Amino acid sequence: MKNAINILAWIAVLVTISVLILTLLTTYQFTYFKYFDSYYLLQWSIFFTMVLFGISMFDFKYRFKNIMYSLFCMILAAIAIFFICMRVY
């Protein structure tokens, strides 16, 4: 199960990188992609990536540092969803 979550997390990283590139290309008006004209999709992709990495790093068997990394990812995801709910995009 942990390997599947790790693979999903790295796929989410690749999706986030591609969304970031397409958003920057659209923002700086090099090209135009309909759904990438704001940071809305980028915020959602960052949210899902941070949630997946938080889940994949969460493990009580190992050191305190792993729990802190997982908590940090979840806090970043909560901040991202806060900005999505406040319509900052």
pLDDT digits (tens, 9 = 90+) for 4-52: 988 999 999 999 999 999 999 999 989 998 889 888 899 999 999 999 9
pLDDT of residue 87: 86
Torsion, Cα of 88, 80, 25, 31 (10° steps): -60
Q: Is the pLDDT of residue 3 over 70?
A: yes
Chain centroid to CA 67: how far? 18
Contact (Cβ atoms closer than 8 angstroms) between residue 49 and residue 16: yes
pTM exceeding the 0.75 threshold for the entire prediction: yes
Query: What is the rounded distance in angstroms from the CA atom of residue 68 to the CA atom of residue 63?
Result: 9
Total Cβ atoms within 10 A of residue 46: 22
Query: What is the rounded distance in angstroms from the CA atom of residue 48 to the CA atom of residue 77?
Result: 7
